[in-house]
Amino acid sequence: MSTAVDIAVVGAGAAGLAAAVSAARAGCTTMLLDQRPAAGGTGGFSGLTTLCGLYDDAGKFLNGGFAREFAEALAERPSPDRPEPGAASRQRADREMGAPIKMGRVWVLSYRPETFRARAAQLISSTPNLRAHWHAPLQSVVAENGRITRVNDFAVGVVIDCSGGAEVARLVDAECLATDATTQAPAVVFPLDGVTREFNSAADVAQVLLPLARAGFPPLNFQASLERDQLTVKFTGAPEAVRPLIEFLRANIGGFENCATPLKEFAPTPRAGRMIVGQYVLTGTDVLAGRKFPDAVARCAWPVEQWGADGVARFQYLPPGAHYEIPARSLRAARVENLFMAGKTLSADVAAIASARVMGCCLATGAAAGQLAAQYLQSPPRK
Ligand SMILES: Cc1cc2nc3c(=O)[nH]c(=O)nc-3n(C[C@H](O)[C@H](O)[C@H](O)COP(=O)(O)OP(=O)(O)OC[C@H]3O[C@@H](n4cnc5c(N)ncnc54)[C@H](O)[C@@H]3O)c2cc1C
């Protein structure tokens, strides 16, 4: 039997979650579908533990609305009997309460992936007008006269493509731009437990990374985790190189003697996605110039972060204090009347998406796409 919904959101990562909840809150019957068993996408399922792109240079929220609401919902509420003495414990307690932490020149939020999934599930189940479908791969999209009319078994008014790979756009042949491993190398993300070494500065990190590089290991970086004595590792080497890497750390680096990962298997997570060509294509020049737009719907200040095929990250920062804006036109497909997009599918060139793909920005563009889609349905533009 076939049913109808106002808005179909494909993909339940940071962008799709924000889009679906925002569209439903605006009064539209909304369907959220994902091939996974639950909401979370890359942020909930890949082992990442830092949410980037939420803050400006001073650690203040760049976007209000859903992005801020979800970030605040990720804060743990440590029980009063938890606090332990010591600077590291205090820092962790601060982070658990949702305080941003400074990582080099940028501010990030530490979170637990299971909390990301749990808060996403709570939001979805408590939002009227919103129905989620799990284990539900996108199977078919029907377009007639430049408009999408059906997604899988549903008649739809508007579609928001938050699939990361522009899967809706692919099925209706909408024009897309692709990234690949030469602009964004994939990484194996895994937790490393039993690390007692303290990292208080970039120099402390360099003291660990230098011997690894000298020993010929591909680049990696460490990020703080909310778990005691745990780091999150993003390793640009092959999955087979993870075990030798851990052995090397145990044998050669102080504070890593007892490190181990609970994971049994390792797989690379792709950073690259596909961007749908929209009514405006955000460029790397816009990003680095901190450009503003009259139809701005989201803000971001994350640097252009490109991980090359050599596994080396190149960061290009905005000027101090600057942020750029994302226009509504970058969330609306150029040639398919009722197709919107957000997150990694945003209309952006390879340099701009290397900044705008971080999760804080995906939450903000997702929320904006949900609201724009609802406005479009409630008053479609005259031709
Ligand atoms: C190695 C790595 C490290 C990163 N580090 C960070 C970091 O530290 N901090 C940060 O903020 N960002 C980081 N990022 C970037 C960030 O995680 C992603 O860009 C962001 O999560 C993308 O969100 P999204 O909602 O656009 O897409 P995704 O989270 O990828 O969600 C897309 C969803 O669509 C679903 N989907 C796809 N195809 C189909 C289909 N055919 N049918 C049904 N469902 C489908 C998927 O199952 C998925 O749930 C990192 C990315 C990588 C790969």
Domain regions of the chain by residue span: 3-182+271-378, 187-269
Determine if ligand 1 sits within 6 Å of the CB of residue 316.
no
- Provide the pLDDT for residue 1: 47
| 37 Cα to the center of ligand 1, angstroms | 15
Q: What is the pLDDT of residue 80?
A: 55
Ligand 1: centre distance to CA 271 (Å)? 8
Distance 132 CA to ligand 1 centre (A): 18
Q: Which of 22, 31, 48, 153 to mutate to test the pocket of ligand 1 (most atoms within 8 A of CB)?
A: 48
Atom of ligand 1 at shortest range from CA of 163? 34
Asked if residues 191 and 219 have their Cβ atoms less than 8 Å apart, the reply is no
Cβ distance 108 to 62 under 8 Å?
no
Contact 113 CB / ligand 1 (< 6 Å) = no
Tokens at 174, concatenated = 């909408």
- Residue nearest to ligand 1 atom 14, measured at CA: 358
Question: What are the φ/ψ torsions at residue 203 (nearest 5 degrees)?
Answer: -65, -35
CA dist list (Å): 69 to 18, 64, 140, 186, 364: 10, 7, 33, 30, 11
Fold classification of 3-182+271-378 is FAD/NAD(P)-binding domain (3.50.50)
CATH pick for 187-269 out of 3.40.190, 3.30.1490, 3.30.70, 1.10.10: 3.30.70
Closest listed residue to residue 302, CA positions, set 162, 161, 104, 117: 104
What local confidence, expressed as pLDDT, does residue 86 receive? 62
Alpha helix stretches (DSSP H) within the chain? 14-25, 41-45, 65-73, 87-96, 113-126, 167-171, 202-214, 242-252, 284-289, 350-356, 359-378
> What's residue 202's pLDDT?
78
172 Cβ inside 6 Å of ligand 1: no
Residue ranges in the chain modelled with pLDDT below 50: 1
- Taking residue 382's Cβ as centre, other Cβ atoms within 10 Å add up to 4
